[in-house]
Amino acid sequence: TSCSHYLLKGSSLKKMSVCLLRRSVRFASSVSSNITVSQLRPGVKVMSLDRKPVNSLTKDFMRDIIDTVKALENDGETKGVILASSIPNIFSAGLHVPEIYDKPRSYLQEFYSNLQEIWLTLNNTPLVTAAAIEGHCPAGGYVLALCCDERVMTKGKYLIGLNETELGIVPPPWVIGSYRAAIGQRHADRLLQQGALVDPQTAFDLGMIDALVEPGEAIATADKFMEPYLRVNQSSRHFTKRLSREHFVSLLENNREEDVNRFVGLLETDEIQGILGKFIANLNKKNATK
């Protein structure tokens, strides 16, 4: 049976998802050792993060993501991209904490500059974007998803959200702005202060994600959600996207150096370095017992 014969509902949606993925493997090409790009159908590609064990965002991995998106923008064929993970039960664990602990100022500045750039790249891209979230998605992982036009998550015992305050980190204004735009001022205010992570159903109820689906259906659903974006004039759609997001994107574009200095200055304090050191020690202890 042809993939196109499946309807986008119930178990048929899952069948279509599997079928699309099987078809895409034939076109898979590695753009980086940690990212694989596969063609889902003409004009639409899946960009799968594969930095084991949990897709944590290192300085170099963030640069890989930026470069991959830029390459897709310029390949002359891609109109939409689905951001996904090749690692089971995890979308991305967020920033790689060892890279912001006991590091020189120049390294921290470059690290944070890449975080700024990945956020601007995903928010400003002319491509239609969707996140297919099939696992845990905390902190910087959710920042990636928050940049996308659509966010689809599978049901399961997963957590998602912005928990930066647990590590003593203050979310930057541009992240706060996009989070507020997604879920409203009151919910954003509460969850950001608490550093709260929530389950998929709560995330859907709050508007943090746009669809909650059965395991195996995320990519097909994301593809379906992208279709209305792809049907309209792409130049006017992209310009509208830029205007719609201008109020929080400009918070970063107009204050990049000041934003870097604020973040790095906070990270360099003894209090925050102490919190990060304890987090890494606990993580190493947990990994040693596995």
* Residue 30, strand partner residues: 36
| DSSP-assigned letters across all residues of 203-264 | HHHHTSSSEEE-TT-HHHHHHHHHHHHHHS-HHHHHHHHHHHHHHHHHHHHT-HHHHHHHHH
128-133 and 135-138 beta bridge pairing: unpaired
Q: Which residues pair with 83 in a beta bridge?
A: 47, 131
Closest C-alpha to 115, from 151, 147, 73: 147
Query: Is-contact 275 268, C-beta < 8 A?
Result: no
**AA identity, residue 268:** E
21, 49, 95, 146: the catalytic one is: 95
Q: Which of 135, 140, 161, 177 is catalytic?
A: 140
Q: Which residue type does 216 have?
A: G
Q: 57, 94 in Cβ contact below 8 A?
A: yes
| Catalytic residue status for 134 | no
177-208 residues labelled b (16+ CB within 10 A) or e (exposed):
bbbbbbbeeebbeebbeebbbbbbebbbebeb
What is the identity of the amino acid at 156? G
User: Active-site residue 49, yes or no?
Assistant: no
Dmax of the chain from CA atoms? 62
**Strand 80-85 relative to strand 44-49, pairing:** parallel
The verdict on whether 140 is a catalytic residue reads yes
Residue 255 is among the residues annotated as catalytic for this protein: no
Of the residues 108, 164, 195, 276, only one is catalytic, namely: 164
Residues belonging to the active site: 95, 140, 163-164
